[in-house]
Amino acid sequence: MSDTPEHMVKSYDQELKRLRDMLTEMGGMVESQVAFAAEAILHRDAAAAARTVEEDPKVDAMEREIDQFVIRLLALRQPMAGDLRHIVAALKTTVDLERIGDYATNVAKRSMVLAEFSTPYSLAGLGHMLRLVQEQLKLIIDALGDGDADKAMQVWRSDQVVDDIYNTIFRELITYMMEDPRNITPCTHLLFIAKNLERIGDHATNVAETVFYAVTGESLPDSRPKGDTSAYAVVRPHE
C-alpha cells in the first residue's frame, strides 16, 4: 500500500465515504416512507399515503445507483479485509432497505382502503409498534453512517419487542373478528398492516447483522431474539 500514490489513496477514501453517504441517504428515504405511512394509518391521512407510494420508485432508483457504484468499486479498487466487508455489506443493506420501502408502501395502500371503514377499536397497539419500528430505523441508519456496532446490536436485540407487540395485536384482531363479522374486512387489513410492520422490523434487524459483521468481522448468533413462538404468530415468508 505504501507504493500507492497518495492521490489514489485519497480518491479511494472519498469513494468509501461516498458509499456510506449514499447508504444513509437511502436509509433516510425509507425512514421518511415509514413516517408517512404512520401518518396515513394513524390519522387517515390520504396525502401522507400518497407521498409514501410516490417515494418508492426513488428508493428503487437509489438501490440501483448504489449497486452500480459498488460493482465499480469492486472492479477498480479490488478492496481487501475491512474495506471489502463494508463494500459487500452495502449490497446486502440496499436489498433490506428497498424491502422496508416496499412494506411501507403496502401499509400506505392498505390505509387508503381502511379509511373507508369505521374502526371502533383502538389503534394504540399499532401506534406503539410503529414508534418502535421507527426507532429501529433511526438507530440502524445512525449505525450505518457511523459504523457503530453497538447501535447495530441494540437494533438486533429490539426485534423481540416488536414481535411481542405483533403477537398481541394478532390476538386482539382475531377476537374482534370473532365478535362481529362486520369487523372481518377492516381487521384483515389491520392484520396485514401489522405483519408488514413486523417485517420492517425483521429487515432492520438484517441490516443490524450486516453492519455488525462489516464493522467487527464477527457474525451475530444465528438465532436472533424472538418473542412468542406460537405457530400462528411466526409464520413468515422467505424473502
Per-residue pLDDT tens digits for 165-204 = 999 999 999 999 999 999 999 999 999 999 999 999 999 9
CA-based radius of gyration for the chain: 20
pLDDT tens figures, 5-21: 554 567 888 888 999 99
Residues 87/76, Cβ–Cβ less than 8 Å:
no
* Distance of alpha carbon 224 from alpha carbon 233, whole angstroms: 16
The three grid cell numbers given for residue 35, joined into one nine-digit string: 413516517
Give the CA count within 13 Å in the CB-facing half-sphere of 150.
Answer: 1
Ranges of residues in the chain whose predicted pLDDT is under 50: 1-3, 7, 227-239
